[in-house]
Amino acid sequence: MADLSNTPITHLFTPLTFLISSILPPAVFADNTSLEVIEVHGHAQNKHLALGSSESLLSDLGVDFSAAGGVSNLPILNGLMGDRVKVLVDGTDVTAACANHMNPPLSYISANQITSYNVVAGVSPVSAGGDNIAGVISVNSISPQYSDSSELGWHSGYVSAKYSSVDNGRKLGLGARLASETFSLNYQGSFSDVDSYEDGNGDVVLDTLYRAQNHSLTAAIRDDKQQLVIKLTHQKIPYQGFANQYMDMTDNTSYGAIAQYKRSFGNSELEGQVNWHSVKHEMGFFSEEKTGMMPMKTDAQDISTQLKWRIALDKNSSILLAQEYYNYSIDDWWPGIEGSTMMGPDDYVNINNGKRDRIAAFAEFESQINTKLWLNAGVRIESINTQVGEVQSYNDGMSMTDMDDMSDMGSMGSMGSMTMSDTSTDNTVAAQNFNDGDRDKTDTIVDANLLINYQITNYDELQFGLARKNRAPNLYERYSWGVSTMATTMIGWYGDGNGYIGKPDLDVETAHTISATYIKSAKDDRWRLSTNVWYTDVSDYIDADIVRSFNSYDLDNTARNIFQFTNVDAILYGAKIDLTANIYESKQLGNWQLHANLTNTRGKRDDTNQPLYQIKPLQTQLGISQQIGRFENALSWQWVDTKSRVDNNRFENQTDSYSLVNLSSKATWDALTLSAEVSNVFDEYYQLPLGGVSIAALKQDSSNGFEQLAGQGRSYNVSVSYAF
């Protein structure tokens, strides 16, 4: 088995490690060097140089991102985005409480607060998380550390700062810990203030500015058999631009609390967790870079409980039994504007007393059958109920057809008892039909997985995974009832400029995935090659069908569509190749390592063979790193192919191929770490294949139509972290 001790940047976890890590503190695995099994990646970091979004950390583990706000980009795994990816923050399931998913789970934690993170793509153990078909991303900040003293005293702290030239980004991270041998108290905070960035042509990419802060206070107490952790969180985002949405974030204020309890017995381990998270979210306009007048508000709350019991059957086998409960509630309304005939006099009630309850139970068996064969198998059963109360339009006393100020009038489907053949674009009629329809649905789903790891020789490893996974529709997919152009274009997290209508009778997505990985290592451990292929067949994939078109600017390149969510069948498949090699070593020049990977993903609807939306084209990365003394240097090259396979229904833009070169250097002393980086060294202009369209640029100059969002130009970045 290959020794990866010379690759300190990224550690690759097996599913076994992932399962154990859900019971033991994440810091235990800081030096783990296990091999990869079925697309499970993990990492532990403690330099606190990474500030702001966790995107920079997770991108190294194969996660793509659909562009949104500066801290709110949506993760994509194996071509699947949004709620299809389960994101857990400290083991908690936080729901995006916004019609545009402006506050996804990863937006609630800063990179400097993260002590460990895992990515489980495709075939994942049922214990990793349910209600997803793409995989699980788990980030953790709870990592209690104790001292040898019986008295509570100072343990450690840090302060980190980063500046980036491309967006005048200023970011700060703080941490302080008090500890004794039985008690630990830890504070971590982060602050970000970022302007809109420039592209490779030196032009400002409008409406990409933001300001954010996150705070957490974690207390832990233990004895030799048990540990109790309480974590309190607070986030404040006064504004965040969303270039590819019609609205911006004008406030996001959240509070949260987590309680974790762990106890070990003679042959078993018990773990329990309770979570509460509340958010008040507002959308509107705050900058001259994208102007308008239309407030939107949401109040939401997540409450969950988890109870897990791992029982050792013998020294090589165990069974994990668990029960979980998740309750999500939300109110989404758009306050009426005084004096407006279109947006008043009443509040537009988009989701009234919305609820999404999940009750889950699972059993998972794990065994090291012999020295060569490892097995994990599990079954998970969930009951998921969604329901909402009655809704209303801006004015229930008159026709709201006049609200359609952004479009031509045309035929449009509605909600509830209305069908796609209905021609009304009147929100008052749509609200009445929605209220008369069925707004309560319960789904029972079954997940199952089989993971096998076979060590052919000491240098050859074969991994196989098979899974059935399910995801129930979210509240916006089912219950977005508005039919006018203005109402529908407020719905959707795709950044495509189109509008969306919900469908109450949507079915659960069911994915069957098969994955195989072959790993070959050199006998002298100087290189390691991993090849992975996977195939996913999705029944009742939630896509969207065209209801009608609109054109706000009456230009050839400004047409958009109104969609209604619908179930179709879809297929996704792909291949990945990863290579790590030690290429040179000497006292004078240090250790040199080569990193290379190649990824290709395809996805299409079965009924039309239409490519699925936001599938990243072929991409490859090549990097050379050097470590000599206290210095670490790296040079990387990324190439992304032309994006020609696009979703024409959504008017998805094609993008040209591009190459990016990045250069970085880091020096570490006992307490001080300095880093300097030049990203996009050659200041190349490129458009983000997963960026969506720039609505902010369209509003400034409609003659160019819906252009693809451009990526960042050259940036000089400097970071410093001091531990004390």
Stretch 582-586: mean pLDDT, rounded?
Answer: 94
Q: Is the pLDDT of residue 2 over 50?
A: no
E strands, 132-225, in order? 135-140, 153-164, 169-179, 183-194, 210-222
Residue 384 domain boundaries: 15-723
Measured in degrees and rounded to the nearest 5, phi and psi for residue 59 equal -60, -30
> pLDDT tens across 156-198, in order?
999 999 999 999 999 999 999 999 999 999 999 999 999 999 9
> pLDDT tens across 9-52, in order?
333 333 333 333 333 333 333 333 333 333 445 554 556 888 99
pLDDT at 348: 97
Instruction: Assess if residue 343 is contained within a domain.
Output: yes
> pLDDT tens across 213-230, in order?
999 999 999 999 999 999
Helix (H) or strand (E) holding 627: strand 619-628
Instruction: Assess if residue 472 is contained within a domain.
Output: yes
Give the total residue count for the chain: 724
> pLDDT tens across 100-139, in order?
999 999 999 999 999 999 999 989 999 999 999 999 999 9
Residue 503 identity (one-letter amino acid): K
DSSP string computed for 554-608: -STT-EEEEEEEEEEEEEEEEEEEEEEEEEEEETTTEEEEEEEEEEEEEEEETTT
CATH number reported for the structural domain that contains residue 504 in this entry: 2.40.170.20
121: burial class by Cβ within 10 Å (0-12, 13-18, 19+)? buried
Q: Is the pLDDT of residue 412 over 70?
A: no
Any idea which residue has 């013998």 for tokens?
314
Closest CA to 294 of 350, 349, 250, 343: 343
DSSP secondary structure letter of residue 477: H
472-510 b/e (C-beta count within 10 Å ≥ 16 → b) = bbbbbbbbbbbbbbbbbbbbbbbbbbbbbbbbbebbbbb
Instruction: Assess if residue 8 is contained within a domain.
Output: no
pLDDT at 47: 64
DSSP secondary structure letter of residue 670: S
Cα-based torsion angle of the residue sequence 43, 46, 50, 56 in order, rounded to the nearest 10 degrees: 0
Q: Is the pLDDT of residue 644 over 70?
A: yes
Contact 544, 566 (CB under 8 A): yes
pLDDT at 56: 84
pLDDT at 631: 96
pLDDT at 14: 35
Tokens of 81: 């985005």
Q: Is the pLDDT of residue 406 over 70?
A: no
C-alpha–C-alpha distance, residues 550 and 318, integer Å: 58
Higher pLDDT, 404 or 712: 712
Instruction: Assess if residue 7 is contained within a domain.
Output: no
Contact 615, 602 (CB under 8 A): yes
Instruction: Assess if residue 116 is contained within a domain.
Output: yes
Stretch 187-211: mean pLDDT, rounded?
Answer: 98
Instruction: Assess if residue 621 is contained within a domain.
Output: yes
Instruction: Assess if residue 87 is contained within a domain.
Output: yes
According to DSSP, the β-strands at 440-457 and 348-368 are unpaired
CA 495 to chain centre: 15
C-alpha–C-alpha distance, residues 469 and 447, integer Å: 5
- Split at pLDDT 50, 70, 90, the class of 251 is very high
DSSP secondary structure letter of residue 127: G
Q: Is the pLDDT of residue 407 over 80?
A: no
Strands laid side by side in the 74-77 sheet: 64-66, 74-77, 80-81
pLDDT at 408: 35
Contact 158, 724 (CB under 8 A): yes
The model's pTM is 0.89
Average pLDDT, rounded, for the chain: 90
Instruction: Assess if residue 10 is contained within a domain.
Output: no
pLDDT at 355: 98
> pLDDT tens across 545-569, in order?
999 999 999 999 999 999 999 999 9
Provide the number of structural domains found in the chain.
1
Stretch 300-329: mean pLDDT, rounded?
Answer: 97
Q: Is the pLDDT of residue 709 over 90?
A: yes
pLDDT at 8: 31
pLDDT at 413: 33
> pLDDT tens across 421-446, in order?
334 679 999 999 999 999 999 999 99
pLDDT at 555: 94
pLDDT at 398: 52
Contact 396, 431 (CB under 8 A): yes
Tokens of 28: 């235990």
pLDDT at 203: 97
